[in-house]
Structure 1
Amino acid sequence: MPRTSLTVAAPAGDCPATLHTPEGEGPWPGVVMFVDAGGVRETFLVMADRLAAAGYSVLLPDVYYRTPFAPFAMDTVFTEPDERARLMALMAGLTMDMVREDSPAYADALLDRPETSGSAIGTTGYCMGGKVSLTAAAALGERAGAAASFHGGRLAVADDPSSPHHRVSDIRARVLVVAATDDAGFGPEQFALLEESLTAAGVPHTLETYPAAHGFAVPDNPTYDAAAEQRHWTALEDFYGAALAR
């Protein structure tokens, strides 16, 4: 799939990004893909290519652009204490206030491209990116038509002001949330609170749980599950096909 390197003019400076598009003539509906805690790396470039091949103009931004970092090895990052501490510090440095500030810049960069059609985009995110995806959708309002989260964490924590469920009334998008089984970051109480919050806000949504572990959709995660990954692609394509105008 064609890849184009971009620089997004974000609130805190230049944000490196790549634009992934299908072969052939566009334009196509736009999607912003948000990475997990490990940041942009080859696995996510390939995932953005995969989504582009389904007929989308996909922006993959470096959400950590404020804090340059050395890449992580996802097969060992959670078993090596120093690397885990480095990863957790990087995650903690990306606040949801920053995400709300940055999201309009990502949407502008995508919608201003000739490869992108329409006036509303989709978002999707994985693990940490699932929370980012829902937060971005709330920040974008009418400019987000579909928001997905796969094995996202801390999506509905009652006493956490940054929890996305507090802002679902700002969401104008359809929402798809797919949880992992026995996921400490998004357990049954959070699932129920998010469902209740979306319903009360009148947000069209689907919440479900796959029989797979946290991280199932990202191939370089040690918990990767090929069957669940394929199921997620099918669900995401169906979701965007219904929610994003072509």
Structure 2
Amino acid sequence: MPVVRGTSVDIPTQDGTADAYLAHPGDSAPHPAVLLYMDAFGLRPQLRRMADRLASAGYTVLVPNVFYRHGRAPVVELPDVIDPVRRPEIFAALGPVMQALTPESAMRDAGVYLSCLAASPLADDGPVGLTGYCMGAVLALRTAGTYPERVAAAACFHGGRLATDAADSPHLLADRITAELYFAHADQDPSMTEDQIALLESTLTAAGVTYRSEVYHGAHHGFTQADTAAHDAQAEERHWQALLALLSRTLRPG
């Protein structure tokens, strides 16, 4: 792996200070920027490793702790291998934290994260790519629709409830999205049903969004995360291939 440098950074927001991880190639030159949205388990070694892998491919990657209002990461204590079935207290603690992050506050924060990348000498002056996992997939889709002028690509992996009948469902931002999108759904994921996938796809198609939506058969919610019981090594590697291809064609055109 090429030399990668990772540092902890603090990002001032309207509601406090978001702790974050910034990874970039070791040459310290400006590179295309990627905002990586965490899953519910938060900023931890696993996500730092993922950011480092993206940085080794030539990107400057920011991973914010989107739960910063509840403390610095880790917001809850996590075991080395996360299995919520055997450790139900993990989600019992995280549930209220997740619910407290409203779409309005999350998108206010997103503007700050994007501005942080725009101001960084380690990021080039082009548009940003997004990648999000589980709840982070929702944040990535919302960010693509809220800041279309800043986002060229968004990848959403094992996202839940991306298209529902709720008034603030993320898919309702489709007509504002100009980025190219990629979705990887786990067919063993009850939080993203076939009906929801169909609604998401029909809405994006009607809005003229460029996207690709795939179902990873046999995969469970959280399949990309190597420190969880849901991890699927084959599906994770497929995710990397899809993500890097998306970022290459949108952030490195020509």
TM-score, normalised via structure 2 length = 0.92
Distance 2:113 2:77 in 1: 22
- Aligned residue runs from structure 1 range 45-124, under 5 A: 45-68=48-71, 69-73=75-79, 75-124=82-131
CA 1:7–1:176: 2 relative to 1, 3 Å: same
Distance 1:11 1:34 in 2: 19
1:173 aligns with 2:179: yes
1:44 to 30, 47, 51: 47
- Aligned residue runs from structure 1 range 139-178, under 5 A: 139-158=146-165, 160-178=166-184
What amino acid sits opposite 1:137 in the alignment?
A: A
Distance 2:85 2:132 in 1: 20
Decide which moves more: 72-81 or 46-55: 72-81
What amino acid sits opposite 1:82 in the alignment?
A: E
**Contact persistence 2:126–2:251 (CA under 8 A):** no
Secondary structure, aligned partner of 1:28: coil
1:13 to 11, 16, 23: 16
**Contact persistence 1:32–1:58 (CA under 8 A):** yes
**Contact persistence 2:157–2:185 (CA under 8 A):** yes
CA RMSD in angstroms, aligned pairs only:
1.4
Q: Which runs of 4+ in 1 moved over 3 A?
A: none
**Contact persistence 2:60–2:122 (CA under 8 A):** yes
TM-score, normalised via structure 1 length = 0.95
What amino acid sits opposite 1:108 in the alignment?
A: S
Secondary structure, aligned partner of 1:184: coil
What amino acid sits opposite 1:23 in the alignment?
A: G
CA 1:48–1:241: 2 relative to 1, 3 Å: same
**Contact persistence 2:76–2:90 (CA under 8 A):** no
Secondary structure, aligned partner of 1:66: helix
What amino acid sits opposite 2:185 in the alignment?
A: A
- Aligned residue runs from structure 1 range 19-34, under 5 A: 19-34=22-37
Q: How much does 1:89 deviate?
A: 1.6
Q: Deviations over 1:115-142 (max 9, x none)?
A: 1113310111111111111111111111
Residue segments in structure 1 that go unaligned for 5+ positions in a row: none
Q: How much does 1:25 deviate?
A: 4.6
1:219 aligns with 2:226: yes
Residue segments in structure 2 that go unaligned for 5+ positions in a row: none
**Contact persistence 1:120–1:143 (CA under 8 A):** yes
Aligned length: 245
Distance 1:167 1:187 in 2: 20
Secondary structure, aligned partner of 1:147: strand
Distance 2:12 2:31 in 1: 22
**Contact persistence 2:6–2:21 (CA under 8 A):** yes
Distance 1:59 1:106 in 2: 8
What amino acid sits opposite 2:87 in the alignment?
A: E
Q: How much does 1:94 deviate?
A: 1.4
Q: Deviations over 1:75-98 (max 9, x none)?
A: 233433333211212211212221
Decide which moves more: 6-15 or 100-109: 6-15
Secondary structure, aligned partner of 1:51: helix
What amino acid sits opposite 1:93 in the alignment?
A: A
What amino acid sits opposite 1:61 in the alignment?
A: P
Q: How much does 1:18 deviate?
A: 1.5
Distance 2:196 2:152 in 1: 24
1:200 aligns with 2:203: no
**Contact persistence 2:181–2:211 (CA under 8 A):** yes
CA 1:72–1:245: 2 relative to 1, 3 Å: same
Distance 2:200 2:123 in 1: 31
